[in-house]
Each structure stands twice: as structure tokens, then as C-alpha cells.
Chains A and B, each alone.
Chain A
């Protein structure tokens, strides 16, 4: 679909494969739920991929396996040429909740990954960078504020900074903005796009919003439940950088409709 658009696409072709998943399956031992079955997936450097699918189809499970938080039951996960066998420094993660720690100020929260990995001195040295990051996401002046004085959106911005401070090569995002209102969510998505381009990061986003997936992604992985598997990978050939105005174009609507058709009908998104 959208062949004309594909030809006029601006951005450079994507680089080498960063993430390679083959035959990844996961059966939870506790309840014998087959959360994933035979997932093959390749993420190329600098690409933005979204996963969409009904609740319980294994999106979070897939993300956790990619992040090295839980092991797959079968299959192979390789990141930058090295098998993933545990949490790694080149992976940045973000969850639905901001999870800032209330006893630390915004900057202290942001340098926490450095503090954990390299100690207090390194964290102190990273403070300057944390300030820059806060500035980028529009939180200048909130550096020394405690999290319970931040709004939900501001907290999520701070947690973006915490993810970026270690300069990860890939960003794994599990519905990071779904707790926000639509307006701030759109803003955050544009911000996310800019950050990914600037840092040449490879992003993998779990979302429940087709619009969000289409506006941000180069590829959309459509998953089906029971057992969780990849039904289709849809290419999005809208030009980059994307703008919110594109959401009103017929091309955009066409892709959204197509994906909606691919998802199980009647199943609540």
C-alpha cells in the first residue's frame, strides 16, 4: 500500500539490524499461559516500530523479553550482535507509570541509573547532562523539585530523561503516555520523535492507540492473542519528520483504517 508515498519518502534508509528476534516463545510456568509463540522480528538502526494488539496478547511480555527482564522459553534475542541474557546498559526502558522516587529530586531521579551503575561520583558528574535533558523536555526550573510536586505529564517527561541519561541505543516503551490526556500525549509523542531522531535511537513502542502508532512509526507490528503472535507488519510510508497535521491527511486515515481492520473486531482496544 501507499507505493507512491514510499517513493517520495525522505529519510535515509535504515541501517543495520539492531535487534534480532527469532522464534521467540514464552509460556509462563505458573499458569501455563502461552503468552508468545514464534515471534520473528528485526529492528533496524534508527527505526521506530510500534506494537499494537488487544489486551493480553503478549505485548508487555515481548518487551520484557527484549529488555532481558524475563527469559524466553524458546527462541533467540540478539541486540547489537550480542545475545540478551539480562538487563543491559544499551537498553532504555519506560513504563506506563513514571515511577519517580519521592525521596529524590527530579535531577537526582534522572541520574539514578548512573548512580546504580557507576556510583555516586559518576552520578554527580552526570548532573550537568541531567539539567540539559530536563531543559530539552521543557522542565527547566523543576530540577530540584520533588516528584509529588510534578504533574503526571511532567513526571513522565522526567522519566524520559532518566531513560536517556545512559544514552541507550534502543528505547523500549510500554504504553509510556497512556496515562496522559490526549493533548499532552500528542505533544509528548512529537517530543519523542524528535529525541529519537536526534539521538539516532531505535525505538520500540507498545501502544493501544492506532493513531499514535501510525504517526510515530516506520513499521507497525500487529499482534493477535491466544497465543500471542505477530499477525502482520505494516509499513508506514508517511514522510519524516511527522507532524500532528498529518493526522488529518487521507493517507493517514487510510493506514489507520487498514490496521483497524486487521485487529480483531469486537475486541476491546
Chain B
């Protein structure tokens, strides 16, 4: 650096002052691409897993080796791809998730608007919602089975039940997000309550609403599988339960991995919708509060 500036000053023949270029210190992790960092964690995780299982620290019934798990994943993958019984089971679970999520959105959004927009909702309905929300909702599963039977309905109900609350909370919070200036502006324009809600409060609250949807998307998956564990049926959760009862741990592992792909897909779908709809909102990477 010193040499360079000396050179330039000698060529231009002026007594130029030396540049004060300096390098900013960057933390090492900031210079590493995300995928490398993630691969590193996966490598450590699988490596530990392999050491623990391959050297017989843990019984294979409790924890299969990574290789066994991979082998079983390929088997399950083939069954799914060829439209075997596993695909039928997976499809049932996917349907439960879709119906459950749709129901949760419809109910959650309606309740959210009721609670967030009306004084009655906030005063009289919200306390009950908070009370129910603090209950362990999974405990309602046997009730849903008793009411709706062992079919898909009881799972849809539990899935929707769990996913509804975050959507209510997100919607209600979103409707409160508009600031005083925006409210006053709408007042000066003579906007009706409905216009204020639709043209200002709802769009302003979309980021929070989507945050609720994302949390709901995670919950709906948990609800559907819990429903299947506790209420039988023919879904993917039942396959897991059976495999676990046969001590077929590699199968349990690979089924869970495939199932998590479904959950991830739903989450990414909501995130994609959020990016399209709330295009003006800069989202922080990888956080819930989008």
C-alpha cells in the first residue's frame, strides 16, 4: 500500500498525501456462506451420530446408524414414488393438514378481526381466547375422537384447534399496528369504519398476520400427527406409531424426516405467499416475526 501511493505520487509529481485506506475487520463467520456453515453443523451432527452408533455405545434399537437410516429412507422414498401404501398414508396426513389449516385460517382470521377491531371482542371474547390458549390443547384430542370418530375429521379438528390461536393473535395484533397518524389521516378523509379496516388496518397488519400464519402452519402439522397418534386412522402418524411399536427405529427416523419435508413445504408456501403479498415489507432472514 505504501509502495503504491509512493509510486503514484512520483508519477503525478505532486506531494500527494498518502491514502488512508484501511480494512474493516469482519468476523470470520460473516465471511462464510450459509450453506457451508450449515453443512458444517450437519457434518458434526451426523459424525457424532455415526461414532455413537457404529462403535456400539448405543443399542441399534434405540438409535440406528446413519447408514441404516439412509437405507430405510431410500426404501420409503421408493414406496412413496411408486405410489405405494405409504403414499396413501402420506396423502391422508397432507389432506388433514390442508383442511386443518384452511379451517384455522377461516376461524382464526374471523376471530382475530372480531377481537382486534371491536371493543366487544376485545373486552368479552379475548379473555376466553387467552384462557383456552393457555390450556394444553393436545389434551382435547380424546374429546375430538369421541365427537368426530376415528376418521380424518377428528385429526382435522385438532390440527385446526392448535393452529387457530396464533392466527387470532397475529390478526388482532396486526389490526393494532396502524399508527396514530394513519388513523387520523383516514379520519380526515372521511373513511368509514369498514374502509379504514380494509384499506388501512388490514394491509398495515399483514406482516403480523403472516407471522401468525407461519406459527399456525407449524402447529397444524403437530396437531394432525398428534391426532393420528391418539386417534388412530390411516395417516402417516399411524405408520410411525406402528414402526415404533415394532422397534423399527430406522423406519421411524426416515418417516419423521419425510414428514418434516411436508411441514417445511407448508411453511415455505406461507413464506412465499408473504413475500408476494407483503412485497413492501423487508423480512429479517430466518425469523418468525417476518
Contacts and interface: CB of A to CB of B under 8 A. Distances in A.
Interface string A133-168: 000000000000010100000000000000000000
A96 B185 CA distance: 12
Interface in A74-100: 86-89, 91, 93, 95-97, 99
Interface string B80-105: 00000000000000000000000000
A87 B187 contact: yes
B187 A99 contact: no
Contacts of A148: 280
Contacts of B189: 87, 112-113, 116-117
B33 interface: no
A99 B185 contact: yes
Interface residues of A, number: 23
Given A67-B188, A116-B190, A116-B195, A99 B181 contact: yes
Nearest to A112: B189
A174 B261 CA distance: 54
A6 interface: no
B188 A69 contact: yes
Contacts of B279: 103
A116 B191 contact: yes
Contacts of B176: none
Interface string B267-290: 000000000000111000000000
Interface string A12-43: 00000000000000000000000000000000
A258 interface: no
Nearest to A97: B181
Interface of B: 179, 181-182, 184-191, 195, 199-200, 203-204, 279-281
Given A101-B200, A103-B203, A116-B199, A91 B280 contact: no
A45 B242 CA distance: 85
B200 A69 contact: no
Contacts of A67: 188
A213 to B, nearest CB: 23
A130 B280 CA distance: 22
A117 B181 CA distance: 19
B4 to A, nearest CB: 37
A115 B203 CA distance: 16
Interface in A59-76: 64, 67, 69
Contacts of B179: 99
Interface string A98-116: 0101110000000011011
Contacts of B184: 64, 69, 93, 95
A96 B187 CA distance: 16
Contact of A69 (B187, B199, B281): B187
A113 B279 CA distance: 23
Contacts of A89: 190
19 contacts: A64-B184, A87-B187, A89-B190, A93-B184, A95-B181, A95-B185, A99-B181, A101-B200, A101-B203, A102-B281, A103-B279, A112-B189, A112-B199, A113-B189, A115-B199, A116-B186, A116-B189, A116-B199, A146-B280
A83 B70 CA distance: 79
A257 B203 CA distance: 48
A69 B188 CA distance: 7
A101 B200 CA distance: 8
In the A-B complex, list the 6 residue pairs whose CB atoms are closest, starting with the nearest: A102-B280, A99-B181, A116-B189, A93-B188, A113-B189, A87-B190
Given A67-B188, A87-B189, A93-B184, 19 more contacts: A87-B188, A87-B190, A93-B188, A95-B185, A96-B181, A99-B185, A101-B200, A102-B280, A103-B203, A113-B189, A115-B199, A116-B186, A116-B190, A116-B191, A116-B195, A116-B199, A117-B190, A146-B280, A148-B280
Given A97-B181, A116-B195, A116-B199, A103 B280 contact: yes
B51 to A, nearest CB: 51
A91 B190 CA distance: 11
B181 A91 contact: no
A64 B186 CA distance: 13
B194 to A, nearest CB: 11
